[in-house]
Structure formats: structure tokens, C-alpha cells
Amino acid sequence: MIEYIKGILTELNPTEAVIEAAGVGYDIAITLPTYSAMVGQEDKEAKLFVTEVIREDTHELYGFVVRAERQLFELLMTVSGVGAATARMIMSAFSAEELRMLIATGNSKGMAKVKGLGPKTAQRIIVDLKDKAIKLDMGGDPTEIPMLDVEADSGVKAEAVSALTMLGFATNASAKAVDKILKADPTQKVEAVIREALKML
């Protein structure tokens, strides 16, 4: 099992990071909080704690800036009906600490706001993980790092729509949601736009 990958961050977008280590470029799926923590590290050394997800048809890497966030991601995947893609979407809709508190306090309604996560699955997550979430130490959570300050322009829209499409949403629906969010607040940061859109789609 790969514990972490450390190397030069050669590419970064809201859903993926590419780290080159020992001449190999690793394409790593990331969450929005991880993206926020890595902004500004392009072409510099970066380190991600990694979870490998191996299935018959794919071999994927999911990366996190802090070990505790990875632990929460892996806990989510132990719940019946929650795969890696769903776990990443949940962890992109909330910061790791917000999610831990939702689980610890039994707030299934708040968690069920995530697209594709019905009330039954949200309740199952809480029942299965409540005791574990309470004990989980989120110290050093990367979500404490301020999000990238970006002007609301076509670049923000394009990046947000691209990220939502990569998460599995239709391009047209994603564009409409992003347009609506930016119309209400043109100064929104790209991470905030994506996070809000995840609750609308």
C-alpha cells in the first residue's frame, strides 16, 4: 500500500493533482479542501497521503494533505452504498471538520444535501460512523487554510463547470447552476461555487 506520495506538483485543478516523484507522474484524485490547501504550490514540492482504490476496471489514487482527512474518507467507504466517488463528493461538499460534526451530532438532513446521497444513506453513515467520527482527531485540517481568492470571470465559471463535469454531472446542468451562483454573487471563489453547486445539482 502507498502511504504517501511526495514530489513536485506539476498540475492542479479542483478535482485532480499530478505529482511527479522519481520521474513518474501520479494522477491523484483530490477533494476541494485538499485543492484549497495546495493552491500556490504548483511547481513546488508537495506531499499527499494516498488511498488506493483498486477495482477490476480501474486503479485510482485519492490524495489528502493530512492523514486525518484520509481516515475520514476511508471510513466513509466502509459504509454500504458509499464508494470512492461518493465519498469524495461528500468531502468536497463539506470541510472534514464540518462532516465530522454532522456525523457526530447525527445531522442526517444536513448531510443529505449532497447530490445523490439520500436520507437512508446519510442515516446509515451516521449509524455506522458516529462513534468513530467523535474519536477522530482532525487537527491540522487543511480546510483551515484560506481558499484561493479568484475574480469571478469566465475562468472561474470554466474551472467550476469542468470540475463538476469530472465529478459526473452533466455539462449543461453544471453550467446553469454555476451561472445562477455567480449571478447572485459575482465575487464567489471557485471552490465556493463548486461547493454550492454540489448542493443544487
CATH label of the domain that carries residue 121: 1.10.150.20
User: What is the number of alpha carbons within 13 Å of residue 170 lying toward its C-beta?
Assistant: 5
Long-range contacts, stretch 151-156, CB < 8 angstroms, 24+ apart: 151/187, 152/182, 152/185, 152/186, 152/187, 152/188, 156/182, 156/188, 156/189, 156/190, 156/193
Q: Domain check: are 19 and 53 in the same one?
A: yes
* CB 192, CB 147: distance < 8 Å: yes
Q: Domain check: are 86 and 116 in the same one?
A: yes
What are residue 64's phi and psi, to 5 degrees?
-140, 145
What are residue 58's phi and psi, to 5 degrees?
-160, 155
Flag whether pLDDT at 35 surpasses 70.
Answer: yes
pLDDT at 77: 94
Q: What is the DSSP letter of 22?
A: T
Residue 148 lies in a domain: no
Distance (Å) of CA 126 to CA 68, 75, 132, 136: 18, 11, 10, 14
pLDDT at 137: 65
Q: Which of residues 178 and 141 earns the better pLDDT score?
A: 178
Q: Domain check: are 77 and 54 in the same one?
A: no
Q: Domain check: are 48 and 92 in the same one?
A: no
Residue 109 lies in a domain: yes
CA angle 42, 46, 47 (to 5 degrees): 150
User: Predicted confidence band at 153 (pLDDT cuts at 50, 70, 90)?
Assistant: very low
Cell 438532513 identifies what position? 109
Q: Domain check: are 74 and 129 in the same one?
A: yes
What share of the chain in percent tops pLDDT 70?
A: 91
Using the 3D structure, point to which of 38, 64, 90 is the last residue of a domain: 64
- Which grid coordinates are listed for 126? 451516521
Q: Domain check: are 76 and 139 in the same one?
A: yes
Q: Domain check: are 58 and 78 in the same one?
A: no
Residue 174 lies in a domain: yes
User: Predicted confidence band at 145 (pLDDT cuts at 50, 70, 90)?
Assistant: very low
Using the 3D structure, point to which of 64, 81, 103 is the last residue of a domain: 64
User: Predicted confidence band at 159 (pLDDT cuts at 50, 70, 90)?
Assistant: confident
pLDDT at 27: 96
Which residue range forms the structural domain that includes residue 57?
A: 4-64
Q: Domain check: are 73 and 60 in the same one?
A: no
Residue 42 lies in a domain: yes
Q: Domain check: are 137 and 71 in the same one?
A: yes
Residue 149 lies in a domain: no
pLDDT at 143: 37
Instruction: Give the number of domains in the chain.
Output: 3
CATH value at residue 45: 2.40.50.140
Q: Domain check: are 104 and 163 in the same one?
A: no
CATH value at residue 177: 1.10.8
Mean pLDDT of all residues belonging to the chain: 84
Whole-number Å distance between alpha carbons of 199 and 183: 17
Q: Domain check: are 41 and 52 in the same one?
A: yes
Q: What is the pLDDT of residues 43-86, one digit of tens each?
A: 999 999 999 998 888 889 999 998 888 999 999 999 998 999 99
Averaged over 25-33, what is the pLDDT? Answer: 94
Residue 169 lies in a domain: yes
* CB 44, CB 19: distance < 8 Å: no
Averaged over 170-188, what is the pLDDT? Answer: 86
* CB 201, CB 174: distance < 8 Å: yes
